[in-house]
Amino acid sequence: MFHKNIPNNNEDIIRFLAKNFAGTKKVRNTILFCSVVIGIVAITMVFGISFGKIQAEEIRLTRENGTASSGRIEDGTEEQYAKLKQLDYIKQVGKSIFVGEATDVSENNEKTICDIVWADSESWNNFLRPAYTNVIGNYPQKKDEILLSERALKKRGISEPEQGMEINLDVYKGLFEHSKEKFKLCGWYTDSGNKLAIGYISHDKINELNLEKGPYTLLFSQSNHLSRSKTEEKLYQALPMKSADQKIYVSDTAQYTAVSKFAGGYEMVILGTIGILCGIYFLVRNVLWISMSEDVQNLGLLHTIGATERQITKIYRKQMRSLMLKGSVLGSLISALILVLLIPELLGFHFYQEMGGNTILSFFRPWILLLSVVFVNGILWIASEGVIRKITKLSCIESAAYNENTVARKT
């Protein structure tokens, strides 16, 4: 009498039976193969398109607002700036100095050209530059350099700007104090046009104007999971306020707003992920359980010739690995083709052409595809292991009894 855990030397016979055994389950294998492919494609597409549209909305909001910052403090201090940088829920901090308006010297100070502003590198790189398109040149470094909006240049009658060209402006400090300044154009950019254009100057120029100590406008952006009201409440508790009249202005981050508009918030995105994975789990488990229940007689035959539980489990696992590998390759290929070629063509490759830029949206993200492959195969493996262990633990007698009971129930 053979015991199911006793080793044997019938490797060739078992391998032959296993191969033929696998060939009789083409329907099951096809369903499982399609489950892997569809699962990977579905998750990659859902999240690829979602992240693409969230990115689009985030860029739109940033350009519409003229800044990527979500909060500011007027008349800020160095102490407040240092404290903001220490807070773990504040991602980025920068500071700027508003000098005043600049008018065209050739028209008796009647035409306002732009606001004159200095911004530190953090403000420019993290908050201001992302709100602009077609940025030519670099932020001003020398005392006489200026970076202007195309709208400001057009107000001065300049439609074809060149780096190094002379720009004469009458710059106001406050309501009455002003001085005629001669700048060299170091670059220009395109903005949304919702507010008065801005001309950026260097820190050396700020020193010359005796404004190096402020007053500062502090710009910041909180973590994307924090709402406006929660951030505002925490900041009023954490920051030393200059006076009772000083205000902290906070809005939701562009990403927080974009996610809320698209999917009802991060919570819905997480629930959607869980829903898809649970659906795949129960589909695979039910398909395997129904199909493997019909394998019991064949398993009894393998037990009879001396196959161990470990060998039979290995047969099933080898089948599952083969299906997962083939399904992952095909699913990844289909996902990449759809998100790289088809979706951008359908939704518009240059989504923000109308906003004056040529931002190219990316719907395909390799890390999403990788996670999809890992999660789908992980769910498939977990679901299959539970069924395989239950079925392969049946002995010869249990297999026969199981088969007789199944036939009796059917009749």
pLDDT digit string (tens) for 301-320?
A: 565 666 666 777 777 788 88
- Supply the pLDDT for residue 344: 78
Ranges 60-69, 241-250, 253-262: which has the least confidence: 253-262
Q: Could you tell me which residues come within 8 angstroms of residue 10 by beta carbon, excluding any fewer than 6 positions away?
A: 305, 306, 307
Q: Which amino acid is at 251?
A: S
Q: What angle do CA 148, 154, 157 make, to 5 degrees?
A: 120
**Cβ–Cβ under 8 Å, residues 276 and 46:** yes
Report d(CA 125, CA 221) in Å as an integer.
Answer: 13
The better pLDDT of the pair 90, 257 is held by 90
- Supply the pLDDT for residue 316: 75
In the predicted structure, residue 132 carries a pLDDT above the cut 80: yes
Domain boundaries, the chain: 11-63+260-410, 71-251
Average pLDDT, the chain: 81
Report d(CA 227, CA 49) in Å as an integer.
Answer: 24
Check residue 131 and report its DSSP letter: G
In the predicted structure, residue 44 carries a pLDDT above the cut 80: yes
b/e code 113-138 from CB counts within 10 Å (16+ = b): bbbbbbbbebbbebbbbbbbbebebe
- Supply the pLDDT for residue 84: 94
CA 128 to the chain's CA centroid: 21
Distance spanning both ends of the chain, measured CA to CA: 32
**Cβ–Cβ under 8 Å, residues 350 and 360:** yes
Question: What tokens appear for 208 in the block?
Answer: 């010359």
CA-closest candidate to residue 201, choices 219, 187, 215: 187
In the predicted structure, residue 404 carries a pLDDT above the cut 60: no
